[in-house]
Chains A and B, each alone.
Chain A
Amino acid sequence: MLVIEQYTITTTPKYNFPQPTIDTTLPQRFLEQSLHSLKQVQRHPFQLNQQNIQQFDITEQPSSNLNLKRQPISLKPNHQETQIAAVDTSTIKIGETSTGIIIALRGATTWKQNQRYRYTRLGPFIFHITEDNKNEVYNALEKSYFNTLYTSNRHATPHLMQMPTRLAGLLERWLQIMLAKTVENGLILFDGSLTSGTIDTPVQCIKDILTLARRNRSTVLAFSKMTSLRVNGYLITDKLPKHEPPYLLETTGVRFKPPTVVLGGVYVAKLNRSNYAFRLDIDREIPLQHRKAAVERLLGNDLYMQGYPETLRLSHILCTFTANEVLAIKHFLTRKHGIQLVNRPDMHKLLFGPFGKGELS
């Protein structure tokens, strides 16, 4: 047997956060798992994915006690220099093999300091996930990231199609921990909510992240682009009072069916005069006045496009896969791993012609 190629897994790249004082090395395990899983699919044909899926949000089923206080909490931008950091991850299915799927995932952290935005992007990591290796890959990664298995065995058999989201969630949580560890006296913006106890958001993990952030005098603010929370049948972000923005609307009685819990105070944030308002979760353990002060510092230090923080928007933009990148990943798979691309006919289109809109329609 001859060695024809050797992967250059040498020194672990340093994950360069604003204040890299804590152990923030990128676990090599992620890369190893990525390469290991790809080796299993070498020289196997794979079917191009016909409908790319990006990460989707958690669907929540809240209790019926939810209320929205009608009295807005007026906000005044505070321009005191504050570091703002945000994190987001993205995943995409690249294609299918005879035994599983090939996925790519990437994470991005963005921060604003001294009036300038900077970013660190991790990935893309490419995995070949099969029914046989899905638990092994996930558990190995979770253990190496967090030195613990947050997800108990009750989630041990996720559906193959859920694996992209679950792995992306894993990377996202790790990035969130890194920010919580490194950002001092700043604001950490998450994409989504502080709802935990779902398959991708173990309660203990989110609690640990929030504790780490508090220890560094930072506040976690989680912005949801979409929410399913409704009051009197209306989405909480739709029925807004006639009040001059920026303001917050406080909710009460947000409860979910166990084991799902909300670790943040849930607000509706309308940060400028645009037509958009967002659900905002703020660490519940932080006193009410501090929560308001955190949002005011955010207003005074970040830009807003349609009422959404620019730092978080950039994180999302930077981690999202473009069509060009998907092509490049396919090129990489073909060139580096000898994976043949095959185009299996889309049965929807084959059977229904112009009425067949693809698998996910």
Chain B
Amino acid sequence: MKLYKKEGNILQVLSFPKENAEKGDYLLIEDPDANKALIAQVIDVQFASIPGVLEELLRTLPDGGEPIQGEDIDPLEIASHITYIQDASLLVCKTRATLESGSLSPCSSWLPSRSQSTIKKLPVPLLIKLAKIEGTRPIIVGGTKDSSLLTIDATAVDGTLNIVTGKKGCGKSHLSKLLVASLIGYKATVVIFDLNGEYTNVGMTKDGKRNMYYDKIHALTPSQNFKVSLDQLHLNVVMGILIHALHLPATSSREFRRLWKNLKEKGSLSLQEMGAAIRDLKCNQHVRDALSSRYHALVNSGFFTDNPAEAMLLDECLVKARDKGGALVINLRNTSTIDRQIVVEYVLGKLVDSLQSWKLKATFLFAEEAHLYLRETYWDDIVTRMRHFGIFTTFITNQPDTIRESIYRQADNIFLFNFTNEHDLDVVSRAARVDAETVRSIARDLPPQHCLTLGKVVRDFPIVARVRSLDMKTMGETRLFFKNINYRFPVSPYSAGRNA
């Protein structure tokens, strides 16, 4: 390999066929005189612009379009040299860091010698070692192209905002489960908004047996094993549900607040009492109607109960998860949009309460397709206010444009799977910790189950890895009509027609 050009932080390296460099590979460009080396990542592989190649290709095609047949008597065997030159490639690389005296610095302002520099591939294990990516609490993400493991440090996910994105069916949920399992393995508290009920069986192996996480997975299905009584609720949480999920106007909200306080003072905070209070409320008819419709929405959600035996204490689950590490899976499958928002408002409100009162130290929140249940104002809340309380969110989506730009700009880590759509890639490339060229070029060619890891967890050295398999019931697979159906037409419909 030979250094050809440098423009800004883009390097062009000439590579010959046997050198086999591919997109995502790292190169070490060592300048012996400067006694330092540049670390660059291949973001695109192009044909080198060799003069005369067009003529070479054209002359094999006569007017008919078929290649001309013939024999080449080439006693000096020059042909192999011709193909060697013809197949030379140009590696477009992004400089990532400078290696000097064994330590890395992000600076790449110097220019290595074009004639003296030696270029070789930098194996991922060596890069991981140099960049100190592994850390003390390793999470094995998967295998890299050179058969080594990509191991990230769990502490690099701590206090961060993460995004897992890619097109449908490429393994996003699988990676999320891997992260969840690894985090609870380190006794972390994890809360998952599980839109499709995929995480409820993380504690089971593929063949239905209990795995090591079984006791740490607490699957909560609203209106089934997850109900709350009004007296468990803090007024702020209820007001959040009414205003944001049920869109209660300001005047009615003031009236409800008064009504709630009265019931609480009387010690009769129940659905039944509240229904009666609203009925008997002496106020504007519109206000009463507004309160009455919201009350019925709460009742019909089935999430609230007056039966103390049915009521479930979320705090207890959180404390359990805090002590031993565990995941609260909020199963939002089969839940209507409004009910979903009510549940999410409740859980988030409760989490903030627990964190504010230091009942919880911090929690990792995994939110699948968050745009389907997260209210507008929460997006900014999550990246600013809630992060300071200790809610560290991971968004998982196959529609990257549903996540706000401000989230991308503040994301610390991005786990990017394949995208072919330019628009999707444009959205993701707005993230502050990645460069647009890397995202566009590498993500477009990622095979399924391969993830480009970007950000803090890889110390800003984007690394591609095939996500390792997990022995757990994933249930993320799409239900298919034709799967396991052996029925076939007895005869071809066309041949039947002919016979008739």
Using a CB–CB cutoff of 8 Å, the interface residues on chain A facing chain B are 9, 13, 15-16, 26, 31, 34-35, 110, 116-126, 303, 305, 310, 314, 317-318, 320, 322-329, 331-332, 335
B7 CB–A CB distance under 8 Å: no
> Which residues in window 78-110 of B have CB below 8 A to A?
78, 81-82, 84-86
A323 to B82, CA, bound (A): 10
| Cβ distance A70 to chain B, nearest Cβ, rounded Å | 34
| Cβ distance B18 to chain A, nearest Cβ, rounded Å | 13
B313 CB–A CB distance under 8 Å: no
B376 CB–A CB distance under 8 Å: no
- Asked whether A328 lies within 8 Å of B59 as measured between CB atoms, the reply is no
Q: Which of A15, A26, A116 contacts B69 (CB 8 A)?
A: A116
Residues from chain B with a CB closer than 8 A to the CB of A126 are: 76, 78
The chain B residue sitting closest to A32, CB to CB, is B75
A116 to B70, CA, bound (A): 11
B68 CB–A CB distance under 8 Å: yes
A-B residue pairs in contact (CB < 8 Å), sample of 20: A13-B73, A15-B73, A117-B68, A118-B70, A119-B68, A119-B69, A120-B72, A121-B73, A124-B78, A125-B76, A305-B63, A310-B62, A320-B55, A324-B52, A324-B55, A327-B52, A328-B78, A329-B81, A331-B81, A335-B81
Q: Which of A34, A119, A303, A324 contacts B53 (CB 8 A)?
A: A324
| Cβ distance B280 to chain A, nearest Cβ, rounded Å | 93
B316 CB–A CB distance under 8 Å: no
- Asked whether B76 lies within 8 Å of A324 as measured between CB atoms, the reply is no
- Asked whether B50 lies within 8 Å of A327 as measured between CB atoms, the reply is yes
- Asked whether B74 lies within 8 Å of A324 as measured between CB atoms, the reply is no
Q: Chain A contact residues: over half helix, strand or loop, or mixed?
A: mixed
B39-77 interface bits toward A, Cβ cutoff 8 Å, 1 = contact, 0 = none: 000000000001111011001001100001111111110
Using a CB–CB cutoff of 8 Å, the interface residues on chain B facing chain A are 50-53, 55-56, 59, 62-63, 68-76, 78, 81-82, 84-86
- Asked whether A31 lies within 8 Å of B68 as measured between CB atoms, the reply is no
Q: Which of A34, A119, A125, A325 contacts B82 (CB 8 A)?
A: A325
Query: How many interface contacts (CB-CB < 8 Å) are there between A and B?
Result: 95
Q: Which of B52, B63, B68 contacts A325 (CB 8 A)?
A: B52
A125 to B69, CA, bound (A): 22
A332 to B78, CA, bound (A): 7
Most buried by A among B50, B55, B81: B81
| Cβ distance A39 to chain B, nearest Cβ, rounded Å | 13
Given contacts A119-B70, A119-B71, 12 further A-B pairs with CB under 8 A are A116-B69, A118-B68, A120-B72, A120-B73, A121-B71, A121-B72, A303-B63, A310-B63, A318-B70, A325-B78, A326-B52, A332-B78
A325 to B53, CA, bound (A): 9
Sorted nearest first, the 3 A-B pairs with minimum C-beta distance are A323-B52, A322-B52, A323-B51
Residues from chain A with a CB closer than 8 A to the CB of B84 are: 328, 331
| Cβ distance B65 to chain A, nearest Cβ, rounded Å | 12
A207 to B52, CA, bound (A): 38
A94 to B376, CA, bound (A): 70
| Cβ distance B114 to chain A, nearest Cβ, rounded Å | 14
Given A121-B72, A322-B52, residue A317 in contact with residue B59 (CB < 8 A): yes
The chain B residue sitting closest to A26, CB to CB, is B73
Residues from chain A with a CB closer than 8 A to the CB of B59 are: 317-318, 320
Residues from chain B with a CB closer than 8 A to the CB of A35 are: 76
A31 to B74, CA, bound (A): 10
| Cβ distance A28 to chain B, nearest Cβ, rounded Å | 9
| Cβ distance B480 to chain A, nearest Cβ, rounded Å | 51
The chain B residue sitting closest to A332, CB to CB, is B81
Given A121-B73, A123-B74, A323-B51, residue A328 in contact with residue B82 (CB < 8 A): yes
A323 to B54, CA, bound (A): 10
A116 to B82, CA, bound (A): 26
Residues from chain A with a CB closer than 8 A to the CB of B82 are: 324-325, 328
A314 to B59, CA, bound (A): 8
Q: Which of A15, A31, A331 contacts B76 (CB 8 A)?
A: A31
Residues from chain B with a CB closer than 8 A to the CB of A326 are: 52
A189 to B75, CA, bound (A): 26
Q: Which of A16, A31, A119, A120 contacts B75 (CB 8 A)?
A: A31
Residues from chain B with a CB closer than 8 A to the CB of A15 are: 73
Residues from chain B with a CB closer than 8 A to the CB of A31 are: 75-76
A326 to B82, CA, bound (A): 9
| Cβ distance B106 to chain A, nearest Cβ, rounded Å | 37
The chain B residue sitting closest to A107, CB to CB, is B73
Residues from chain A with a CB closer than 8 A to the CB of B56 are: 322, 324-325
